[in-house]
Amino acid sequence: MKILVFNAGSSSQKSCLYDLTGENLPPRPPKPLWKGTIDWMGEDSAEMKIQVNGVVEQIPLGTISRQEGIKRMLNTLTTGKTKVLDDLGEIAIAGHRVVHGGAEYSQATLITPPVKAKIQELCALAPAHNPANLQGIEAIEQILGDLPQVAVFDTAFHSQMPEAAAVYPIPYRYYEQGIRRYGFHGISHGYCTQRAAEILGQPLTQLKLITCHLGNGCSLAAVDGGVSINTTMGFTPLEGVMMGTRSGSIDPAILIHWARESAMTGEEINALLNKEAGLKGITGVSGDMRWIEKAIQEGNKQAKLAWEMYILRLKMAIGSMLGALGGVDALVFMGGVGENSPAVRAEVCQGLGFLGLRLDGEQNSRSPRDCDIASPDSAVRVVIVQTEEDWAIAQDCWHLGKAC
């Protein structure tokens, strides 16, 4: 079964093609047959990168719409040095990461007109992502007609959160209108939860895990027996810990103050909190953790402050997840920062020594993927998991494709 996976961002389109043979899924993620990425770097500039068997082609696209870019990207599947198919009709099913699925969707779902309508409705809650997800779905409809398509929702993993965690402390009627905590990064949290249990060699149903997805966007989840019972992101991906360019949670009265005193519009506040805050807001330069760590070594005081704020808020969030779980068996790090920054992991774990958590410094410094890096005498395990969102989406497609 050939499965096409789409993972759309606000300014990027990542895709890959898996070829799954046999009656069962492989135990570990196979290497994709083909990978394609488009980055829209500005209004007049887009670049496409295609990877097949070690061959990498970079193709400037200039000014191009998302749908036309997707069409150009899919053409590389059947032409030139990156050809892996004789015809696009060989693709059996396509899967899409959809950021917001609201309260309706708790699992991967075949895309129908009502599902598309709901994704469209939820664009108001995920304006940077759901429209891009929808454009990818519509592009496949135009190019491949009635090919089965699957929506894999980032909110689905958190859909079983108890009301005490999901409801905001505002008049209950707003919860009934859909103003509630949904949680995000669910595909990553779900996959890494399963993988952590495999690495630890323990049944997932018996584990209490705190999963830390740390990238440009960051979120934590409290996972009890495989079920997310709390998470740091909420109504939108803005809530929670400090991130690359997002503020995370702040006193809501600040927004009231801005609206009253400086007459800032909702759009201006939204842009500030999502694009100009977080690590970038404090440094004034960058929200990239690699830049932060380098700048600290060069004596940059604002980079040091940003670092200290980031670590403190991570520790505070871990504490809140710990309280929700009533204990923890393992701390799981994933995402670009979680997987690649020994310093972040070390600083966070150093603050958790009172739990009996002991990090193996040598193991941690090597940043090994899919590995327990806690010392043998640690009361809490520490696991690095390489998140595989595309493979998680492909697995859902495989199951639904078999059922069709």
Per the annotation, binding residues for ATP are 14, 213-217, 288-290, 336-340
CA distance 36 to 51: 6
What pLDDT does residue 129 have?
86
Per the annotation, binding residues for substrate are 97
Spell out a b/e string for 231-267, using b for 16 or more CB atoms within 10 Å of the CB, else e. Answer: bbbbbbbbbbbbbbbbbbbeeeeebeebeeeeebeee
CA distance 277 to 282: 7
Q: Which CATH class is domain 2-153?
A: alpha beta
φ, ψ for residue 355 (rounded to 5)?
-85, -5
Q: Stretch 274-298: mean pLDDT, rounded?
A: 96
**Annotated catalytic, 154?**
yes
Mean pLDDT of the chain, nearest integer: 94
User: Does residue 181 register a pLDDT over 80?
Assistant: yes
The CATH 3.30.420.40 portion of the chain extends over 2-153, 202-384
User: Could you report the per-residue pLDDT of 1-56, keeping only the tens digit for each?
Assistant: 999 999 987 778 899 999 998 889 998 999 999 999 998 766 567 899 999 998 89
User: Could you report the per-residue pLDDT of 315-360, keeping only the tens digit for each?
Assistant: 999 999 999 999 999 999 999 999 999 999 999 999 999 999 999 9
User: Could you report the per-residue pLDDT of 91-114, keeping only the tens digit for each?
Assistant: 999 999 999 999 889 999 999 999
The proportion of the chain whose per-residue pLDDT surpasses 90, expressed as a percent, equals 85
One CATH from 3.30.70.260, 3.30.420.40, 3.30.70.100, 3.40.50.300 for 202-384: 3.30.420.40
CA distance 301 to 198: 42
Contact present, 136 and 71 (Cβ < 8 Å): no
Considering the candidates 146, 154, 370, 372, report the single residue annotated as catalytic.
154
Q: Binning pLDDT at 50, 70 and 90, where does residue 214 land?
A: very high
Give the closest residue to 402 by CA, choosing from 93, 71, 73: 93
User: Does residue 266 register a pLDDT over 80?
Assistant: yes
What pLDDT does residue 125 have?
84
What pTM did the predictor assign? 0.94
For residue 246, what are the CA distances in angstroms to 234, 266, 269, 298?
Answer: 13, 16, 12, 25
Window from 77-86, 119-128, 275-284 with minimum mean pLDDT: 119-128
Q: Hey, what are 287's tokens?
A: 């929200």
What pLDDT does residue 44 have?
62
Q: Binning pLDDT at 50, 70 and 90, where does residue 124 land?
A: confident
User: Does residue 366 register a pLDDT over 70?
Assistant: yes
Per the annotation, binding residues for Mg(2+) are 7, 389
Q: Binning pLDDT at 50, 70 and 90, where does residue 159 land?
A: very high
Q: 124 Cβ partners below 8 Å, 6+ apart?
A: none
CA distance 302 to 287: 12
